[in-house]
Chains A and B, each alone.
Chain A
């Protein structure tokens, strides 16, 4: 290589307490190149990028820009070195327009000139093929539009090195395609781009080279054209694992849950769910897909008795008596008292499913503390349950008395899922149960869900990874803007089909199902 890399990291190490987030990591990106940083969740990708963008400071190691050693102490320093980061969670002011957000916080000597700024925004947009309306307010924008604003904001500040943290996590397949188009244009213009991701096919599609991290350690860098999916997986995970999820045919499915025509509105009167109807059967995994925020959470919370339902019915069919019971307008307590064994693994594990500051044992107590007439707690049974879950699900923890917030994401999830399954449910709802988990933990969760399915539980699974949904589920309901845009057979549907339903580009719902 004759040219000097645009940015180069050498021997970067960063620790948080006892946890080593990055250890001796090397990385380099040339001008006009796209580098993927690949790794499972928790492998230290984001920490590494945060050190380049001035949010963290490395314990050891050096950073070189254009061959010169630099020190990046703050995001401001990063901008001075022409480094811009697009975070996974956008940092925009909702009531401002795109342009206002873009120039927000800029400290030039020039006076505030919105017109000139708008012109420049348009220029940047045209140059790289962004579609953007500079006057549109952020709250009116879709997720992908917001992302566009974030990217332009970084370019506006003259960034030559762009870091994108999981940019496709919130996008539909179509939007992802458009984003990649823009990235390729930027590359042609000589920009250096780093993409953090854990999606293999995207790595192969967009990047020139791939750097792989595993558990904070630098594994190596490959030229994308010379590698393939299985080699990258092996580097990422450390050992070869089969990526197949088993899927049995549902055994004598019977109807377990009827949802008919439910409507929910937010406190501000915005519709969250409109006219949602479907039936979930016992012994099947019923997937729910959709762009983030399409009503998935509200749907599950309506069934769990946490979301006020304005119209419609939710009927539970008791597997023993065959009687129908309406769950609408019931509190979670009342639902439990009716004898409905409904388990719910919510999206927000530490903020809803568990109490972060409490020990594993006390978190087991959440579901069972009411038992018995005594005014005092009995910690014996929960302790046994905690020990059992730790043993069976291989939870890594110093003890059952450790506060759950000290555990890693995967272990937190094992504790939560373990507790929810322990009450032998008849309906199990899980919202994004593998988010933030490494591959091994994810497969453990899939296996647990499959086990429940075989026991005749009606499993509802809200997921974001379409590949997983298609492999794991029996049927998939697609939500779009709080409405059901289709229910497809997961054995025959394709990713593109679901992608289209997610954005409701499909003209004739259900017509494609046969294909």
Chain B
């Protein structure tokens, strides 16, 4: 009789419980395990769908990133851009201000540099000319971020929609300017600005056109880390982000912090735009930023807003992206295949956080208990 009753009652099969804490080495073990598991699953997918040797595919991914000096510099270059925009969005996100307008803020910064490069060449002494280009880019990015910040602080508008919309405005402005600056005629592109004179092009260090960008971003990374962790401003950003009520209670001027932080965020986007246009591409089009303004959000969140960890997360994303396009060309696979692999790997990397934060209890058999 008793057994009969017990057969009817069931404890739920799986229950999820919040974990208290996990030692750092354990949580990193989980993360590493997740990556290994992701690679195994990817290997399975590769074998089943294409028949290629997964080791060859992985090798191609690594070679796509570090195969030769040029590829390696390109990887670091992309890493630097992505990291720069991620640094820009981080203070805003830490303040819980959902700035998804980094794309537009960067683009408008680039547009400002392009405009200065075109219109002011030969009109100003060289040092002033450079200063104006730099100042204009930063200012343009700042204005683009201050508009939504002002409305948020003053009227509590929704910053997510506002910053998103500003992206499209920036894109349309660039489209308009492309028509205006078209060179050569009917090409529908701006072409290389100041191709002959190189006026307004940022200098190269030791004949390496990537090194300057990389060094600037490295300096910004350290600066941002210090700013967020050790400065009074950084502390205010954390307090406002964690609890606006506490901020008010303690006498922090929340509006001021929102505006100041967004100005910083926009200024950094402006710098990213400057590096893209005046430092590297020497031209501009609507896809100059290429979605990095959105990828940056992921970089920032994955690193939990820690600028030093962000170098790692942006590296992972750049590595996957470049590796994916390498295998697409080398194995004549279409892009969807490599996107699938990227997707699987990201799924595991992000998904493993669940196991770090929660514990899963599976039903024990009753006999075992007794």
Note whether A and B form a binding pair.
Answer: yes
- Total B residues in contact with A, Cβ cutoff 8 Å: 30
Residue A218 is within 8 A (CB to CB) of chain B in the complex: no
- Listed in ascending order, the chain B residues whose CB lies under 8 Å from chain A are 5-6, 9-12, 15, 17-21, 230-233, 235, 238-239, 242-243, 245-246, 248-253, 369
* Residues in A whose Cβ lies below 8 Å from that of B230: 376-377
B239 contacts A355, CB within 8 Å? yes
Complex Cα spacing A377 to B15, Å: 44
Could you tell me which residues of chain A, from 321 to 377, have a CB within 8 Å of some CB in chain B? 331-333, 335-336, 344, 346, 348, 350-358, 362, 365-367, 369-370, 374-377
* Residues in B whose Cβ lies below 8 Å from that of A369: 232, 235
Among A17, A68, A336, A352, which residue has its beta carbon within 8 angstroms of that of B246? A352
A-B contact pairs, 28 of them (CB 8 A): A17-B17, A18-B20, A57-B12, A71-B9, A304-B249, A306-B248, A331-B251, A332-B248, A335-B251, A348-B245, A351-B243, A351-B245, A352-B243, A352-B246, A352-B249, A355-B239, A355-B242, A355-B243, A355-B246, A357-B242, A358-B242, A362-B235, A365-B235, A375-B232, A375-B233, A376-B230, A377-B230, A377-B235
* Residues in B whose Cβ lies below 8 Å from that of A114: none
* Residues in A whose Cβ lies below 8 Å from that of B5: 68-69
Measured CB to CB, the closest approach of chain A to B232, in angstroms, equals 6
* Residues in B whose Cβ lies below 8 Å from that of A70: 9
Complex Cα spacing A354 to B245, Å: 10
* Residues in B whose Cβ lies below 8 Å from that of A17: 17-21
Measured CB to CB, the closest approach of chain A to B9, in angstroms, equals 4
Complex Cα spacing A333 to B242, Å: 20
Select from chain A the residue with minimum beta-carbon distance to B9. Answer: A71
Could you tell me which residues of chain A, from 290 to 337, have a CB within 8 Å of some CB in chain B? 304-306, 331-333, 335-336
Select from chain B the residue with minimum beta-carbon distance to A356. Answer: B242
- Listed in ascending order, the chain A residues whose CB lies under 8 Å from chain B are 16-19, 57, 60, 68-71, 73, 304-306, 331-333, 335-336, 344, 346, 348, 350-358, 362, 365-367, 369-370, 374-377
B231 contacts A336, CB within 8 Å? no
* Residues in B whose Cβ lies below 8 Å from that of A370: 232
Complex Cα spacing A15 to B12, Å: 17
* Residues in A whose Cβ lies below 8 Å from that of B238: 355, 358
Q: Which of B9, B20, B233 has the most CB of A within 10 A?
A: B9
Complex Cα spacing A362 to B250, Å: 13
| Contacts A332-B249, A369-B232 supplied; 4 other A-B pairs, CB < 8 Å | A306-B248, A332-B248, A336-B251, A352-B243
Measured CB to CB, the closest approach of chain A to B258, in angstroms, equals 16
Select from chain A the residue with minimum beta-carbon distance to B20. Answer: A17
* Residues in A whose Cβ lies below 8 Å from that of B20: 16-19
Complex Cα spacing A60 to B15, Å: 13
Complex Cα spacing A362 to B245, Å: 16
Measured CB to CB, the closest approach of chain B to A300, in angstroms, equals 11
Complex Cα spacing A365 to B246, Å: 13
Q: Which of B232, B235, B245, B246 has the most CB of A within 10 A?
A: B246
Select from chain B the residue with minimum beta-carbon distance to A398. Answer: B21
Complex Cα spacing A158 to B21, Å: 42
Measured CB to CB, the closest approach of chain B to A402, in angstroms, equals 10
Complex Cα spacing A403 to B12, Å: 33
* Residues in A whose Cβ lies below 8 Å from that of B12: 57, 73
Measured CB to CB, the closest approach of chain A to B233, in angstroms, equals 7
Complex Cα spacing A481 to B323, Å: 67
Measured CB to CB, the closest approach of chain B to A312, in angstroms, equals 21
Among A71, A356, A357, A366, which residue has its beta carbon within 8 angstroms of that of B250? A366
* Residues in A whose Cβ lies below 8 Å from that of B11: 57, 71
Measured CB to CB, the closest approach of chain A to B1, in angstroms, equals 11
B251 contacts A333, CB within 8 Å? yes
Question: A17-B19, A73-B12 are known contacts. Are A376 and B231 too (CB-CB below 8 A)?
Answer: yes
Complex Cα spacing A69 to B4, Å: 11
Complex Cα spacing A71 to B5, Å: 11
Select from chain A the residue with minimum beta-carbon distance to B248. Answer: A306
B251 contacts A332, CB within 8 Å? yes
Measured CB to CB, the closest approach of chain B to A56, in angstroms, equals 10
Complex Cα spacing A355 to B242, Å: 7
B246 contacts A69, CB within 8 Å? no
Measured CB to CB, the closest approach of chain B to A37, in angstroms, equals 24
* Residues in A whose Cβ lies below 8 Å from that of B252: 333
A344 contacts B17, CB within 8 Å? no
* Residues in B whose Cβ lies below 8 Å from that of A355: 238-239, 242-243, 246
Measured CB to CB, the closest approach of chain A to B18, in angstroms, equals 7
Complex Cα spacing A248 to B46, Å: 81
Measured CB to CB, the closest approach of chain A to B229, in angstroms, equals 9
A377 contacts B249, CB within 8 Å? no
* Residues in B whose Cβ lies below 8 Å from that of A353: 246, 249
* Residues in B whose Cβ lies below 8 Å from that of A366: 239, 246, 250
* Residues in B whose Cβ lies below 8 Å from that of A350: 243
Among B9, B231, B369, which residue has its beta carbon within 8 angstroms of that of A375? B231
* Residues in B whose Cβ lies below 8 Å from that of A374: 232
A346 contacts B249, CB within 8 Å? yes
Question: A369-B232, A369-B235 are known contacts. Are A16 and B18 too (CB-CB below 8 A)?
Answer: yes
Complex Cα spacing A239 to B294, Å: 60
Complex Cα spacing A355 to B252, Å: 14
| The 9 A-B residue pairs with the shortest CB-CB distance in the complex, in nearest-first order | A17-B20, A332-B251, A333-B251, A71-B9, A352-B245, A355-B242, A366-B250, A352-B249, A376-B230
Question: A57-B11, A57-B12, A366-B246 are known contacts. Are A69 and B231 too (CB-CB below 8 A)?
Answer: no
* Residues in A whose Cβ lies below 8 Å from that of B6: 69
* Residues in B whose Cβ lies below 8 Å from that of A356: 242-243
Select from chain A the residue with minimum beta-carbon distance to B239. Answer: A355
Complex Cα spacing A366 to B250, Å: 7
* Residues in B whose Cβ lies below 8 Å from that of A362: 235
A16 contacts B246, CB within 8 Å? no
B253 contacts A333, CB within 8 Å? yes
Select from chain B the residue with minimum beta-carbon distance to A58. Answer: B11
Complex Cα spacing A356 to B232, Å: 19
Measured CB to CB, the closest approach of chain A to B251, in angstroms, equals 4
B232 contacts A16, CB within 8 Å? no
Question: A57-B15, A333-B251 are known contacts. Are A377 and B232 too (CB-CB below 8 A)?
Answer: yes
Complex Cα spacing A443 to B250, Å: 27
A377 contacts B9, CB within 8 Å? no
Question: A18-B20, A57-B15 are known contacts. Are A367 and B250 too (CB-CB below 8 A)?
Answer: yes
* Residues in B whose Cβ lies below 8 Å from that of A69: 5-6, 9
Among B10, B246, B248, B249, which residue has its beta carbon within 8 angstroms of that of A71? B10
A354 contacts B246, CB within 8 Å? yes
* Residues in B whose Cβ lies below 8 Å from that of A376: 230-232
Complex Cα spacing A363 to B239, Å: 10
Complex Cα spacing A332 to B246, Å: 12
Complex Cα spacing A333 to B12, Å: 53
Complex Cα spacing A331 to B252, Å: 9
* Residues in B whose Cβ lies below 8 Å from that of A306: 248-249
A332 contacts B250, CB within 8 Å? yes
Complex Cα spacing A365 to B17, Å: 33
Complex Cα spacing A365 to B5, Å: 59
Complex Cα spacing A68 to B1, Å: 11
Measured CB to CB, the closest approach of chain B to A85, in angstroms, equals 19
* Residues in A whose Cβ lies below 8 Å from that of B248: 306, 332
Select from chain A the residue with minimum beta-carbon distance to B12. Answer: A73
Measured CB to CB, the closest approach of chain A to B228, in angstroms, equals 11
Select from chain B the residue with minimum beta-carbon distance to A344. Answer: B249
* Residues in B whose Cβ lies below 8 Å from that of A331: 251, 253
Question: A57-B11, A71-B11, A352-B243 are known contacts. Are A377 and B231 too (CB-CB below 8 A)?
Answer: yes
Complex Cα spacing A107 to B233, Å: 54
Measured CB to CB, the closest approach of chain A to B216, in angstroms, equals 22
Complex Cα spacing A374 to B232, Å: 8
Measured CB to CB, the closest approach of chain B to A134, in angstroms, equals 37
Measured CB to CB, the closest approach of chain A to B26, in angstroms, equals 14
